[in-house]
Structure formats: C-alpha cells, structure tokens
C-alpha cells in the first residue's frame, strides 16, 4: 500500500486491530485527527497529539467514560474520573504500587514464576499463555486485592472474559451486549467481592479491599458498587494487560533468536531497556477515549462539545517522529518514552508492578528454558477486539529441564 492509498479504517471493528500497522502509518501521515463518520468519533494517531490530549483534561474529560460508544457516567472507578476526584481515589491505594513497594515483593514474584516454570519445565512443551503468562499477574493482583488463594484461578477466568468482551463492538459501532458467559462472570465476581467487603469491614486486613471498605471519602464509606468497580478495574488492568505482554513476547523472542541471544548473553539488559521495548512493541491497551467538554479547534479540525476522541496508543508507539525505526523490535532500544501506560494524571497505577513481573518472568525463562521455540503447526492468532490485542495461545517446545 502506498502513502496515498486509503486503507480500510474502522475504529470500532475488532478485526481492524488484528493487523492495524499499515493503517496506523497512513493515519499518522495523512489524517492524524481522523473523523469516523459512521461511529462519530475522532481517531488520534500521533504521539504528540495523544500527549496533548492526555495533558488537557479540562478540555478532554474522562468523566463520560474511557471506552468509546458507551455511556459510563455511572461507573465511578478512578479511570472514569478527572482530577481532583481521580487523584483522591488514586492516592488511597497508590502507595501499594510504588516502585519501592513492588521491589519489596520481587522475591515473592520470583518464587511464583519458578513455581509456574516447575510445572512445565520437565515436559519439554507447554501452552505459554495458559501455563505462564496468565497465572502470574492474576495471582499477584488477587493477592493485593485480598482474594483468597482458592479464588485466584477464578479471577483469571473472570478477567479474561470481561476484558475480551469489553472490546467487542457491533457493525454500527455500538458496544456489543455482554454474553451470558460474561454476565455470569461479572455476577460471580461481584458476589465474591461483596463477601470480601463484608468480611473486611468486620476485620480489616493488609489488602486493597480493606482500604476501600474502611476509608471514608467526603464523610461517607464507599458503597459496595464503588468498590466492585475499582476491583474490576485493577483486576483487568493488572492481570490481563501483563498477561498480554508476556504471551506476545514469548512468541516474539521465539521468532527473533538474535534478540533472545542478546538477553541470554546479558540478562541485565532486561531491566535496562528490554522490558520497555516489550511493552512498547505489544502496547496491550490499544486505546482509551476522552470526550470534548467544549467546541474547540484541534490540529486544524473542529471538535464539537461531546465529541469522543479515541487515543490510539499503539499507533503513537510506532510514530516515526518519536522512535527510530519504530517497526523494529530492538531489546537495546534507548530513549523509549512510549505511551503504553498512558500519560499524565491517568498514567497506569500498576506500571511498576507490571514492569517487575515481566522482567522477572523473562529472567527466569531465559535462565531455565532458554531455547524455547514455537510448536510446529500450532498457530497463534490475534483475538479481534477494540480494546486489547492479545494472542489466543502460544504453544512452545523446549529442551526439558533435568534436575
């Protein structure tokens, strides 16, 4: 496709995001503030424009919701709030996710990772998403929230179902109704969370649900519905996105033995540059929405009050004006100021936890089963969705570990 040929662009078609890179490039070069007349929203594809919108929450609000074609004004979670309310909610739990706080649990993370590898190392093969990528973040966020160990596998299941379906849209762009499976997952999750809320109000523990259940905001306790919203936000943000990066990078390193060899020779590169490249390359959250609070002009386009803007993070992370050779996967890439975690006041709360999970996972994989390769005939495919871009499975073979 040449720069002048218009590619297929449908910002709310899940299939558009299976292979969006040529379309992203065309948008950045030809129509960086793109009006989608069918779905009536703007697609923002350049790095600098996304940063500008993220910084200006007065003109581009989160209050109407973070997902396109939906009305989320009744969702009180912090992701759908502007400052100062957003910061007030965020600061209640922020200290649990600081770099210093997550560094203190690195040993625990490493133990969990090695337990997961122990389960498959002698077999010589596994499905990496099911066995490695999915369990780790679900265990860690479940522990932080306060869910008992026996529910951690269910948390993973609930997250996978709700995250995938939140990225489904109908042909007219409206959000697809949740399936019976998804509604069941939401009801089960809500019921389990309410049980924990009641228990923590009676006997607080060292977990996030205890903080929400016992802390007054503006002279009142949080409602059950408000706590459920925050828990689901952290579960989906903390479990599903890290899972997506780990699964995709296991596949990517199998396809790029030169890059894997660099990391085997010097694992310290993981913490220096490679993890940031993993996150930039995958960009697990494809986009977020903002809503214009007034009529204004932005980059020569007339934005009307109430118009929705889709901030296309995955496009920004391939912006040629910011990243050298952006379509290359380079574990030594420096100056990697990606926006995979967003920008500004809504910068991802769990970014430090995600980084350390990803780093430790690959330190241990490269130490214990470094020669993994994709299982012949076991194809991986992208699950079409407008919110996340994840593989359905990544089957790998490797030399069995002997002890």
Cα–Cα distance, 192 to 139 (Å, whole number): 16
d(Cα 83, Cα 56) in Å, to the nearest integer?
A: 11
pLDDT value of position 175: 60
Mean pLDDT along residues 289-309: 97
DSSP code, position 301: E
CA distance 200 to 209: 7
Tens digits of residue pLDDT in 262-294:
999 999 999 999 999 999 999 999 999 999 999
Superfamily of domain 14-397: Cytochrome P450 (1.10.630.10)
Q: Pull the structure tokens for residue 179.
A: 């399936």
pLDDT at 314: 98
Residue 220: predicted pLDDT: 87
Q: Is the per-residue pLDDT at 362 higher than 60?
A: yes
pLDDT value, residue 75: 72
Q: What is the mean pLDDT of residues 119-142?
A: 96
Say if CB 8 and CB 16 are below 8 A apart.
yes
Sign of the Cα torsion 188, 194, 197, 198 reads negative
Token match 């030399």: residue? 399
pLDDT band at 160 (very low <50, low <70, confident <90, very high): confident
The answer on pLDDT for 3 being more than 60 is no
Distance (Å, whole) CA 276 – CA 98: 17
Rounded-to-integer distance, Cα 279 and Cα 273, Å: 10
Domain residue spans in the chain? Answer: 14-397
What pLDDT, in 10s, does the model give residues 307-361? 999 999 999 999 999 999 999 999 999 989 999 999 988 899 999 999 999 999 9
* CA dist., res. 289 & res. 66, Å (int): 5
pLDDT higher at 66 or 1: 66
pLDDT of the residue at 69: 67
Burial 337-357 (b: 16+ CB within 10 A, else e): ebbbbbbebbebbbbbbbbbb
Query: What's the mean pLDDT when you consider all of the chain?
Result: 92
Give the residue-averaged pLDDT of 249-274: 98
Q: Tokens in use for 137?
A: 């973040």
139 pLDDT tier (thresholds 50, 70, 90): very high
pLDDT in tens, 205-247: 999 999 999 998 888 899 999 999 999 889 888 888 899 999 9
pLDDT band, very low/low/confident/very high, at 73 (cuts 50, 70, 90): low
* pLDDT (0 to 100) of residue 177: 60
Residue 143 scores a pLDDT above 80: yes
Pairing outcome for strands 125-127 and 33-36: unpaired
- pLDDT at residue 4, as a whole number: 62
Kindly tell me if the per-residue pLDDT of 202 is higher than 90: yes
Residues 6+ apart with CB under 8 A from 254: 260, 372, 373, 374, 396
CB 264 within 8 A of CB 112: no
Q: What is the pTM of this model?
A: 0.93
Take residue 299 and report the two structure tokens written for it: 């980059």
Joined tokens for residue 98: 């600081």
Question: Of 117 and 238, which is predicted with more confidence?
Answer: 117
Listed range (22-31, 80-89, 392-401) with the worst mean pLDDT: 80-89
């Amino acid at each position: 496709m040449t720069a002048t040929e218009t590619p297929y662009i449908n910002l709310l078609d899940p299939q558009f995001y299976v292979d969006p890179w040529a379309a992203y490039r065309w948008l950045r070069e030809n129509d960086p503030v793109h009006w989608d007349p069918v779905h009536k929203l703007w697609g923002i594809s350049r790095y600098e424009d996304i940063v500008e919108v993220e910084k200006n929450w007065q003109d581009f609000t989160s209050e109407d919701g973070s997902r396109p074609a939906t009305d989320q004004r009744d969702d009180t979670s912090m992701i759908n709030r502007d400052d100062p309310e957003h910061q007030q909610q965020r600061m209640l739990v922020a200290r649990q996710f600081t770099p210093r706080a997550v560094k203190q649990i690195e040993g625990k993370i490493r133990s969990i990772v090695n337990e997961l590898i122990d389960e498959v190392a002698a077999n010589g093969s596994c499905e990496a998403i099911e066995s490695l990528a999915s369990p780790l973040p679900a265990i860690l966020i479940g522990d932080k929230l306060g869910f008992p160990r026996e529910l951690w596998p269910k948390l993973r299941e609930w997250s996978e179902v709700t995250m995938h379906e939140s990225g489904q849209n109908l042909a007219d762009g409206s959000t697809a109704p949740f399936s019976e499976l998804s509604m069941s997952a939401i009801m089960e999750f809500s019921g389990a969370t309410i049980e924990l809320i009641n228990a923590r109000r009676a006997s607080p523990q060292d977990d996030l649900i205890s903080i929400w259940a016992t802390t007054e905001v503006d002279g009142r306790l949080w409602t059950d519905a408000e706590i459920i919203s925050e828990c689901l936000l952290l579960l989906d943000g903390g479990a599903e996105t890290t899972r997506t990066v780990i699964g995709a990078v296991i596949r990517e390193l199998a396809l790029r033995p030169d890059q894997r060899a660099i990391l085997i020779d010097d694992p310290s590169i993981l913490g220096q540059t490679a993890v940031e490249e993993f996150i930039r390359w995958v960009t697990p959250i494809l986009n977020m929405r903002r809503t214009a609070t007034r009529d204004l002009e932005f980059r020569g386009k007339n934005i009307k009050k109430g118009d929705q803007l889709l901030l296309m993070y995955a496009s920004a992370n391939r912006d040629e004006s910011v990243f050298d050779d952006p379509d290359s996967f380079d574990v030594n890439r420096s100056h990697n100021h990606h926006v995979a975690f967003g920008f500004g006041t809504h910068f991802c709360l769990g970014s430090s936890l995600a980084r350390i999970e990803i780093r430790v996972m690959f330190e241990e994989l490269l130490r214990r089963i470094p020669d993994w390769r994709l299982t012949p005939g076991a194809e991986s495919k992208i699950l079409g969705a407008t919110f996340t871009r994840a593989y359905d499975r990544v089957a790998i073979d490797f030399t069995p570990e002997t002890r």
